[in-house]
A and B are shown apart, each in its own frame.
Chain A
């Protein structure tokens, strides 16, 4: 029983670790899409920033510098997305897709050019990474039943970026619904002409939104390569950006529901990892591939309106054209 409890607590702990990049990307997606810009380039920006973070950490040793550079690179690609979709009124899906494919090619090409390790970066030492922060009394608390295990395993022992991810949910909620900036941002995604005639630049609002999205994606990428992992591996985002997009839709473009969706999807991944190779009576080995595909299946079912309806911001995907 105690063993099962520990297994459960460890799965919850893993859930949080797996969900961290999803949460950051989902918040990024919320900012972008609430302003009316579809962002399927979460995946690509995360990949680029994961690569940047690992490279800078490997070359200069400072995880904070690495994080900073990752964020800047991600924001630069947000600018590119904005340049295509806002300034040149390009198709937002196509632009996002271009960035994703570009990211796949660019990370490997530059990676080989710098490190000559087939597109990987060197293994990072612990001082080059964000390491786990053990909270006070975690070791002593471990022996207290229930709460103690939760404190020691789930709450303590996470790195800084996990906490930043959770904080980002609070900040996103506050900014969107409690500030003037948030009011304008939401308005621009619903009815840009109303914002324009009220004397606010739609272009500027949307650029700000995509830049914030880039900022958050950058942290997510850095988390993958210099906090959760210890270096960059090609295609290391492995569809996480798309899962985050799914979580955002699942959460109806709202921060807290999106957080819950991220945790649910993270839990599925964590549990699939735990069940790997476990024999199920009559079925043989656990079909973990099928557990991993659940987020996608659930999102399809949600979008089809079989479990509630996901209504996106009204003007999403449409470039704002003022003059006829």
Chain B
């Protein structure tokens, strides 16, 4: 089976899992994003056909929400908080240090609040929140991700 056939089957399967659910589009897109790492044009087509929506409707939802990506990530993803509470504690420096260390090997995403404001500056990797980060720590995290190490 070709790669695109595998993808199609996976997406069909996800749609089937959500069959009968009320307003299933966001849950389906979350599953596709987590399974494939991004939501390809082919995925949009299949989902639209299955939910009896237009491609524009599905594409519009994909483009609205920052969680849904239309391209694969450059590497493993680290989300770094850029909101006020983290900034008050050196979040800007953490952000800059992360970018300097990543050099395109790790995908750095800005998030606006991880709800870890009393323990900032904060970042999140694979759903795990990390707190009280400084420049040195973020650099070693980024380096570990770039090398593919487990945290």
Are A and B a genuine interacting pair, yes or no?
no
Which residues of B are in contact with A by a Cβ distance under 8 Å?
none
